[in-house]
Amino acid sequence: MRLSAPIVGLTALLLLLASPLHALVYQLKADTSPAGLRRALRAEVVLEEPVVMNGRKGTMFVAVSELDWVRLLDELRPLLADFGARENAASLILDGPGEDGTRVRHLIVRGEPGKLATIFTMTLPDEADMPDLDRLWPDQLPQPRQITVQSVISMTKRGVDWAQFEGTGDSRQLLQSYQDRLVGAGWHRLAGDDTSSVVCMSPDQTHMAVVSIRAGKTRVYGSVFLRRIK
């Protein structure tokens, strides 16, 4: 299945939301604003995408740097309190200050040879004022049983939603259980490998859902990508 721009953008957003427990996050110095980071890396904003992340409206900025990867790392080092990334790193996650006391997360993705690096920037939700994420689960989908919702992200302009969750037990059993629940709700199974993913069509054929589940060391991690197709 060919990945579309909304899928790539939401994948980036999920990485931006990744907890330090699941990914190495570098800390920008307190005086490095998003605009300051882009200036230092000679990056130009090419896209502003409105999103709703965990019930809060925001904007994802996408910028492209004119620097090659080695030069980009050299320019980045002075902006970070502690930085040990190697030149073969495929991506970097940075936390830093935003506007009006907010915190932002930057995801810098290395381009293929001859292509430029891309910088995704998004304001982080306030964990002290987190809404009930179960209530934000997409209305078109039943929710998997015995899971904890971690984040719900929407690109309303594109008709795209992404929900991320965690659970316990066997990843294959969780996938089969959720697939059975979708089919029981009238969804039609289109494809899947029965081990880590399944693709389904809504009963009225207006939405497509891609479910992905993987086993971690102690938890099971899953996501549901939902896209309006009509």
Q: Residue 81's pLDDT band (boundaries 50, 70, 90)?
A: confident
- Same domain as 113, residue 9: yes
pLDDT confidence of residue 143: 95
Total domains in the fold of the chain: 2
CATH number at residue 211: 3.30.310
- Same domain as 114, residue 84: yes
| Boundary-marking domain end, from 128, 150, 166 | 128
- Same domain as 171, residue 109: no
Domain that holds residue 146: 132-228
Under 8 Å between Cβ of 62 and 130: no
pLDDT confidence of residue 67: 93
What would the mean pLDDT of 218-226 be, rounded to a whole number?
91
pLDDT tens-digit profile of 141-199?
999 998 999 889 888 888 889 898 999 989 999 999 999 999 999 999 999 887 899 99
Residue type, 16: L
Indicate if the pLDDT at residue 95 is higher than 50. yes
- pLDDT: is 177 or 122 the higher one? 177
| Boundary-marking domain end, from 102, 128, 154 | 128
- Same domain as 78, residue 45: yes
Indicate if the pLDDT at residue 134 is higher than 50. yes
Q: How far is CA 120 from CA 3, 8, 160, 192, in A?
A: 18, 11, 18, 30
- Same domain as 188, residue 218: yes
What would the mean pLDDT of 208-226 be, rounded to a whole number?
91
pLDDT confidence of residue 72: 93
pLDDT confidence of residue 216: 86
Mean pLDDT of the chain: 85
- Same domain as 136, residue 104: no
- Same domain as 196, residue 85: no
3-state secondary structure of 208: strand
| Boundary-marking domain end, from 87, 111, 128 | 128
- Same domain as 143, residue 155: yes
What would the mean pLDDT of 201-227 be, rounded to a whole number?
92
- Same domain as 16, residue 117: yes
Residue 117 burial (CB count, 10 A): 22
pLDDT tens-digit profile of 11-43?
566 556 555 445 678 899 988 999 999 999 999
C-alpha to C-alpha distance for 49 and 117, rounded to whole angstroms: 18
Q: Residue 5's pLDDT band (boundaries 50, 70, 90)?
A: low
pLDDT confidence of residue 24: 75
160-167 and 147-155: which strand pairing? antiparallel
